[in-house]
Every structure is written in C-alpha cells, then in structure tokens.
C-alpha cells in the first residue's frame, strides 16, 4: 500500500511565477491536510479538504494561495505570483476519517519550494 | 491560541545515552498530544501519542507521559541508537471547523547520535 505521494519533491520558481504542488493521499483516504514549514520553524496548518470540498482554510494566506481536491486526481496546492517568502517545505497529510474520531494523519515526504 | 514549545536543538548524544526532549504546550480544553519523527528525505511518521491526562504513549523504546499539571509531554528513551538520528516534532491536536483535527507543531528538535 503506497504511502502519501507528493510531487514534485523540489520545485524552483522565479518571483511572479505560479507553483503547483500535488498530493496523492493513501488509498482509501478521502481527507487531506496541507501544512507549511518555513525555515527553522515547525509545521503550520494551512487547509483541510475532503473530496470536492474545502472544510477549513483558516491557515491559508488570504491572497495568492488556493487548494482543491477534485473527485478524481490528486489534491493541488496552488500559489500564484510567488514571492521569496513563499520558500518553504509544504507537507500533505491524509487520513481515513476526520469527524468525531482521532485519526492518525499520514504524511508525505514534502515539496521543497525555492523562489529565486 | 494553542501552541507547542519544544527543546531547541540540535542535540548530539553518544550511542546508549539517555535521551530527553522537552515539550510543553498551551491549550484550551484537553487536546491529544503527539510525537512525530522525520528521517532524512522522508515525511513525518507518528512515533507515539496520548489522548488524555496521565496517559503514557510508547513505541520503539520511546516514552512520553501527558502531564496536565505541568502542561508537558517530554520524550524519553533510555538508550539511544545511531538509527534514532532524526528530527523530532511535538504536536497537539486542535479541533477546527467541522471537526477538522489540525495539528499544531513545535519547531522540531534535530537529534544526532554518534557511535
């Protein structure tokens, strides 16, 4: 059973370009979390999605960032017009259920975004 | 809001030494507490967890006890191995919109074990 897959593992963008980060959850998991880790800091929650629904985006910056989890295909974290401050490691986690039960979140290896 | 503070690293020990990595938290309510480990080039893996006060989580020789009175969840291991070298994250669960179980992480502690 493959784990959570993220690609690309490393992404380099110039300021003003768009970055698309992909996350394929574990088989059977329909809940996805995105976290960001800035240099020398812990991971910070960004957004929680179920298939075709954004449930909690309280950690997402108000501008330039968006996320989706379509019925088919991976979850996408999209950053438009990247700036140097967006350079970070972005981690995706999936879980089988979320409501009312404490479920383990399984993490992917992360995408390291560098903005030049 | 809820937060986690953990011992700053890096921490370097010799093989078979005793390990403690301190973790304290600030939270409303009664969150669940976790330790995650990240090996080089990999994602975070759950090491152990505790869901209520006085619970002890344990795995692979590591232990941590949920101490409500001191709001702490310190990680310990009696005899470390070179293979324990990794970054360790303390975290708590924070319930968000529609039951979303957001994790709040400490900044991580890099542990290096020398033979």
Higher pLDDT, B11 or B101: B11
Q: Where on the phi/psi map is residue B3: left (φ > 0), alpha (ψ -120 to 50), or beta?
A: beta
| Among chain B residues, CA nearest to A41 | B107
Q: Where on the phi/psi map is residue A86: left (φ > 0), alpha (ψ -120 to 50), or beta?
A: alpha
Any B CB within 8 A of A4 CB: yes
Helix/strand/coil for B99: helix
Rounded to whole angstroms, what are the CA distances from B61 to A44, A78, B72, B107?
28, 40, 19, 23
| Among chain B residues, CA nearest to A92 | B43
Convert the pLDDT of each residue in A38-52 to its tens digit: 887 789 999 999 988
Q: What is the DSSP string of B67-94?
A: BTTTTB--EEESS--GGG-EEEEEEEEE
| Among chain A residues, CA nearest to B38 | A109
Chain B residues whose CB is inside 8 A of the A45 CB are: 94, 96, 102-104
Extract the tokens encoding A84. 């140097």
Buried b or exposed e, range B45-54, using 16+ CB within 10 angstroms = bbbbbbeeee
Q: What number is the average pLDDT over the span B65-91?
A: 96
Peptide bond between residue B45 and the one before it cis (omega within 30 degrees of 0) = no
> With bands split at pLDDT 50, 70 and 90, how would you rate the model's confidence at B108?
very high
Any A CB within 8 A of B109 CB: no
> With bands split at pLDDT 50, 70 and 90, how would you rate the model's confidence at B78?
very high
Any A CB within 8 A of B62 CB: no
Chain B nearest C-alpha distance from A98 (Å)? 6
C-alpha A111/C-alpha B43 separation (Å) is 10
Chain A residues whose CB is inside 8 A of the B41 CB are: 109
Convert the pLDDT of each residue in B30-76 to its tens digit: 889 999 999 987 888 999 999 889 999 999 999 999 999 999 999 99
> With bands split at pLDDT 50, 70 and 90, how would you rate the model's confidence at B97?
low
C-alpha A67/C-alpha A78 separation (Å) is 6
Q: How much is the pLDDT for A100? A: 54
Helix/strand/coil for A36: strand
C-alpha A67/C-alpha A57 separation (Å) is 9
C-alpha B3/C-alpha B112 separation (Å) is 26
Nearest to B96 among A56, A91, A102 (CB): A56
């Amino acid at each position: 059973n493959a784990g959570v897959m993220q690609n690309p593992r490393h992404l380099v963008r110039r300021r003003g370009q768009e970055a698309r980060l992909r996350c394929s959850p574990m088989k059977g998991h329909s809940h996805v979390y995105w976290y960001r880790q800035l240099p020398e800091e812990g991971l910070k929650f960004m957004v929680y999605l179920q298939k075709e629904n954004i449930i909690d985006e309280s950690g997402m910056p108000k501008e330039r960032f968006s996320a989706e989890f379509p019925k088919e295909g991976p979850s996408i974290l999209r950053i438009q017009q990247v700036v140097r401050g967006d350079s970070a490691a972005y981690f995706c986690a999936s879980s089988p259920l979320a409501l009312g039960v404490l479920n383990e979140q399984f993490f992917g290896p992360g995408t390291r975004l560098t903005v030049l | 809001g809820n937060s986690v503070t953990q011992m700053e690293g890096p921490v370097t020990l010799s093989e078979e030494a005793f390990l403690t990595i301190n973790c304290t938290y600030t939270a409303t309510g009664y969150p669940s507490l976790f330790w995650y480990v990240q090996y080089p080039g990999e994602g975070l893996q759950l090491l152990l967890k505790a869901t209520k006060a006085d619970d002890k989580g344990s795995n692979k020789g590591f232990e941590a006890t949920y101490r409500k009175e001191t709001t702490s969840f310190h990680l310990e291991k009696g005899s470390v191995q070179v293979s324990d070298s990794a970054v360790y994250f303390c975290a708590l669960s924070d319930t968000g919109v529609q039951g979303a179980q957001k994790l709040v992480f400490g900044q991580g502690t890099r542990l290096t074990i020398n033979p």
